[in-house]
Amino acid sequence: MKTNIYVKSRVAIVGAGMTLFRRRMLETPQELAWIAARRALDQAGLELRDIDCVVSGSAPDAFDGVHLKGEYYSEGAGAIRKPHVRVFVGGGTGVFVPIAAWWHVASGLCRRVLVVAEEKMSSAADPHPQAVFRHIWDPFTEKPLNPNLIWIFALEMHRYMHKCSVSKEDIALVAVKNKRNALDNPYAQAAANITVEDVLKSELLVYPVNRLDISPVSDGAAALVMVSEEWARRLTDTPVWVDGIGYTLDTSYWTNRELSFPVYLKNASEMAYRMAGIDRPAKEIDVAEPYDPFDYKELHHLEGLGLVPRCKAAEMTREGVTQRDGDLPICPSGGLLGVGNPIAAAGLMKVAEIFWQLRGEAGRRQVKKSVTTGLAQAWGDLMQVGTVVILRR
C-alpha cells in the first residue's frame, strides 16, 4: 500500500446515525434530518455547538415539494448560523456528501463537520413520487416520447444481459441476497425472505425489469460526523479514516454510449484507489456497499469498481462470494433493495454501514471476516455519476 503524497491531512468519521427508511413517514424533512443528525452527534459524543460546518445532500427538490429545498430543510440539518452547502449529483449524492465534507476538513477551513442526507419522497404523492422522474430527461429529444424512469434502467439492464450473457435468474440472486441481508437491519423497509422465482413472477413493469428487481420509494435520512485527525484522536479510539474519494460525471447524452459497462465508475473508483494507495482493489477491499437501486446495478457496479473482471459479477454472486460470510461481502446492510431508497439518504446509509462494519458495530449484520478497508459507492443521473469513498480503520 502506497501512501498518497498530495493529500496533506487525514479526515475521519467518528459517528453515524439514520432514521428508519419507510414508504411514508410522519416527520417533515427537517425532522427527518434532525433525527439522523442527532443520532450521529450522539455517537460522536458532540453537540451542535461543536460543529463548525454543515454539508448536506438531497436529490430532486420536486420530491419534498419545495424550491431551494436545501434552504428549507437546513435547520433540521443543524445549519443554524453556520456555513452550510447542499451538494447534488442526482442519485450519487449520498456518497458525494462525505466527499465534499472531506475537503471541508482537509482544506483546514473546518474541523468538525456534520454531514446530512435527507429525502422525503412521499410528499410527491400525486400521482406517485416516480412521476417526478418525468422531468429528468432532455426536454427536446426525450421528454416528448413520454418516457418513464424504468425505461432507462431496463435498456441498460438488457444491454448488460446481452453483452455479458447474464440471465434474469442470475440478476435476481442479488435481490434475494440483499432483501435477506436486510432482515437483520432494524431500519429496513423492504426486508424479506424471497426466492428467485418470486422475483421472476413479480409484476412485469418494463421487460426485463420486474417489480422485485427494484428498490422501493422511501422517506429517510442519514448523517455522519467527520472531523480532522486531531479531533478524531481526541474523540474516539476507533476513528474510521476517509482515505479515498473519487467521483466522475459522464455525458448527459446517454444514448451515444456503450451501456453495458459504467466507464464513469471506473474513472471514479480509480481516482479513489489512487488516493488510498490501493493497487489491487479486488484483494485490498474487504467489504463493499455498491449502489443497488436495481438488482442488476450491483453486478454492473462491481465490475465498474474493478472488484471483479468484466461480465463476471454474476458468476461471483452465484458462487456465494458476495454473501455476508463470503470472501467479498457486498451490501451487508441489505442495500437499497432491502433497506429502502430515499435517494440521497440511501447513499449515505451505505457509508454509515461501512463505518459500522469497520468498527465491528454492525450487530447481526456484521460480516464474518475481519475487515479493515471498505468501500461505498453511489450512482446517479442518466447513467452518468459514479461517487466512491474508501474507508479504513
Partner 1 sequence: MGLSIRIRGGTPLRDEEFREIIKEIDSPRARYNMAAGEAYSRFFESLRRGEILGTYCPGCGLVHIPPKIYCPYCFRYLTKWVRASDEGRVVTAVVSYLSATLERLEKPEIIGIIRLDVPGYRFTSYRFPGILHRICGASEDDVKSQRIFDARVKARWAPEDRRIGSINDIECFEVMWR
Partner 2 sequence: MGYSGFTRSSEHLSFREMVFQAALKAYDDTGDLDPRREVDAFISCQEDFWEGVSISDEFAPDQLGGVLKPVYTITGDGLHCMANAYMMIKSGVADVVVIESHGKPSEIASMRDILLFTLDPIYVRPLKIPNPHAIQALEARMFMEARRISREDLGIYVVQTKNNGLLSSRAPYSYRLSLEDYMVSEYVAEPLTLFDIAGYSDAAIVAILAGEDTARKIAKEPVWIDGVGWATEISTIELRSMDEDVSTKIASEMSYKQAGIDNPARSIDAVEVDERYSYKALQAIEALGLVRKDELALELRSGGLSRSGSTPVNPGGGALSEGLPLEAHGLARLLSAYEQLRGRAGRAQLGDVERIAIHSWRGLGTSSSVVAIVSR
* Residue 151 touches which member of partner 2, partner 1, none, C-beta under 5-8 Å by kind: partner 1
Q: Which of 14, 9, 19, 39 is nearest to 356 (CA)?
A: 14
User: How many Å apart are CA 171 and CA 195, to the nearest integer?
Assistant: 12
Least distance (Å) between residue 363 CB and partner 1: 15
Least distance (Å) between residue 369 CB and partner 1: 29
User: How many Å apart are CA 226 and CA 215, to the nearest integer?
Assistant: 28
Tell me, what DSSP letter sits at residue 3? P
Distant-in-sequence contacts of 207-213, Cβ < 8 A, 24+ apart? 207/154, 207/158, 208/154, 208/157, 208/158, 208/161, 208/168, 209/150, 209/153, 209/154, 209/157, 209/294, 210/168, 212/172, 212/175, 213/171, 213/172, 213/175, 213/294, 213/295, 213/296
Tell me, what DSSP letter sits at residue 256? G
Per-residue contact flags (x/-) with partner 2 for residues 63 to 82, judged by CB under 8 A: --xxxxxxxxxxxx--xxxx
Q: What are phi and psi for residue 173, nearest 5 degrees? A: -55, -30
Q: Which residue of 13, 16, 17, 96 would you call a contact of partner 2, by CB under 8 A?
A: 96
8 Å CB contact between 381 and 89: yes
Q: Which of 157, 193, 163, 128 is nearest to 292 (CA)?
A: 157
Q: 75 vs 230, which CB is nearer to partner 1? A: 75
Q: Which amino acid is at 204?
A: L
Q: Which residue of 11, 25, 287, 389 would you call a contact of partner 1, by CB under 8 A?
A: 25
Q: Is 60 in the site for partner 2 (CB under 8 A)?
A: yes
Query: Could you say which residues in the range 26-55 bind partner 1, by CB under 8 A?
Result: 26-27, 32, 35
Instruction: Extract the C-alpha cell encoding 221.
Output: 435520512
* Residue 127 touches which member of partner 2, partner 1, none, C-beta under 5-8 Å by kind: partner 1
Residue matched to cell numbers 424504468: 150
8 Å CB contact between 342 and 18: no
Q: 118 vs 286, which CB is nearer to partner 2? A: 118
Least distance (Å) between residue 382 CB and partner 2: 5
Q: 48 vs 196, which CB is nearer to partner 2? A: 48
Q: Which residue of 10, 31, 103, 159 would you call a contact of partner 2, by CB under 8 A?
A: 103
Residues in binding contact with partner 2, number by CB under 8 A: 69
Least distance (Å) between residue 355 CB and partner 1: 18
Q: Is 270 in the site for partner 1 (CB under 8 A)?
A: no
The three-state secondary structure class of 218 is coil
User: How many Å apart are CA 259 and CA 160, to the nearest integer?
Assistant: 7
Q: Is 178 in the site for partner 2 (CB under 8 A)?
A: no
Q: 151 vs 183, which CB is nearer to partner 2? A: 151
Residues that bind partner 1 (CB under 8 A): 19-20, 22-27, 32, 35, 65, 67, 122, 125-128, 130-131, 134, 138-142, 144-148, 150-151, 154-156, 158-159, 161-162, 187, 204-209, 219-220, 251, 253, 255-259
Residues that bind partner 2 (CB under 8 A): 6-9, 28, 30, 54, 59-62, 65-76, 79-90, 96, 100, 102-104, 106-109, 132-133, 135-136, 139, 245-253, 263-264, 267-268, 271, 275, 380-382, 384-385
